[in-house]
């Protein structure tokens, strides 16, 4: 009796090139993966494919640990962007790029056959990975350069405002990381260049749209109204990260406690 076939958790399952492959089909990728069976770039790209999952864990961790409204709003926009991607894929219905690779047959008279497979499940237009990281990168950039005000009046005595250069450097780093994730999808032949480009554009445009929506919620007082509700107070939701360094508040209390301990020991 044969063992039942094994299933794979597709949420974290990534195929990457480890055998000689020939790209084919109407949606052939423009830049085929390396033919090296031990290609380190393909291996790195496989890890880059897990960045969206890592970001979701980061979102959840920050929301629970900080209870910040800004983080929650950004994550809500991220989920809405994913829902839009799900809808667009099932509306456009463009297939992912296919590739042909050598596959041995059991019959002795044939040594090899060409098997055409689609990399990944579901449709490919637009790329969900590209749209995800594009939204994240643009949203964080808009927050760092436009919304965050590190020079606002602050009662903390240890507060050191983040310079414009530091915020700009972090924005460039995040955008470069998003570009690496998007490029990895082409390298692994999960998407065509056009599918990646469309995903990046949609993610960036949606990030700008969501920034304007949240700006309206702040300006109109809707966010303050939500934060005044009993359920928001129960979960201790707050909105401090726009003008304060969340690490600094805890650091100041820690320094004050250490100072008091030193004074008590010196007496």
171-205 tens-digit pLDDT: 999 999 999 999 888 888 888 888 999 999 999 99
Whole-angstrom Cα distance, residue 243 to residue 129? 31
Q: What is the extent of the structural domain holding 78? A: 21-150+161-241
Whole-angstrom Cα distance, residue 175 to residue 10? 26
Whole-angstrom Cα distance, residue 5 to residue 206? 41
Write the DSSP assignment of 154-165 as a string of letters: ---SS--PPPHH
Report phi then psi at 179, rounded to 5: -65, -35
What is the sign of the dihedral through the CA atoms of 51, 57, 60 and 63?
negative
Non-local CB neighbours of 36 within 8 Å, separated by 6+ positions: none
Whether 9 is in a domain gets the answer no
pTM of the model: 0.76
Whether 251 is in a domain gets the answer no
Whether 7 is in a domain gets the answer no
216-248 tens-digit pLDDT: 999 999 999 999 999 999 999 988 888 777 777
Whether 267 is in a domain gets the answer no
Q: How many helices (H) and strands (E) does the chain have?
A: 9, 3
Whether 255 is in a domain gets the answer no
Whether 248 is in a domain gets the answer no
Higher model confidence: residue 110 or residue 233?
233
**Whether the predicted pLDDT of 102 surpasses 50:** no
Whether 121 is in a domain gets the answer yes
Strands (E) in 127-252, as ranges, are none
Whether 128 is in a domain gets the answer yes
What are the Cα distances from residue 125, in Å, to 8, 45, 129, 130?
A: 23, 20, 11, 10
Tokens of 92: 């456009």
Question: Which of 4-18, 149-163, 191-205 has the largest mean confidence?
Answer: 191-205
Whole-angstrom Cα distance, residue 61 to residue 26? 42
Total domain count for the chain? 1
Strands (E) in the chain, as ranges, are 21-24, 98-103, 113-118
Chain-centre distance for alpha carbon 202: 14
Tokens of 123: 């449709």
The burial of 135, by beta-carbon neighbours within 10 Å (0-12 exposed, 13-18 middle, 19 or more buried), is given as buried
Whole-angstrom Cα distance, residue 97 to residue 187? 11
């Amino acid at each position: 009796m044969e063992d039942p076939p094994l299933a794979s958790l597709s949420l974290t399952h990534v195929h990457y090139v480890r055998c000689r492959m020939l790209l084919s089909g109407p949606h052939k990728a423009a830049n085929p993966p390396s033919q090296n069976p031990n290609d380190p770039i393909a291996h790195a790209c496989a890890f880059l494919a897990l960045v969206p999952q890592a970001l979701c864990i980061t979102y959840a961790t920050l929301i629970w640990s900080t209870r910040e409204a800004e983080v929650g709003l950004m994550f809500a926009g991220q989920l809405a962007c994913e829902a839009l991607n799900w809808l667009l894929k099932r509306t456009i219905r463009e297939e992912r790029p296919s590739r042909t690779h050598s596959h041995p047959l059991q019959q002795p008279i044939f040594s090899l056959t060409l098997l055409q497979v689609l990399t990944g499940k579901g449709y490919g237009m637009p790329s969900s990975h590209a749209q995800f990281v594009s939204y994240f990168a643009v949203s964080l950039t808009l927050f760092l350069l436009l919304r965050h005000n590190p020079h606002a009046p602050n009662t903390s005595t240890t507060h050191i405002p983040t310079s414009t250069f530091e915020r700009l450097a972090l924005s460039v780093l995040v955008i470069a990381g998003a570009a690496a994730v998007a490029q990895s999808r082409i390298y692994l032949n999960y998407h065509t260049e056009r599918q990646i480009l469309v995903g990046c554009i949609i993610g960036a445009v949606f990030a700008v749209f969501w920034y304007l929506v949240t700006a309206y919620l702040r300006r109109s007082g809707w966010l303050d109204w939500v934060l005044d509700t009993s359920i928001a107070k129960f979960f201790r939701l707050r909105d401090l990260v726009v003008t304060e360094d969340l690490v600094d508040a805890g650091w100041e209390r820690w320094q004050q406690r250490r100072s008091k301990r030193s004074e008590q020991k010196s007496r």
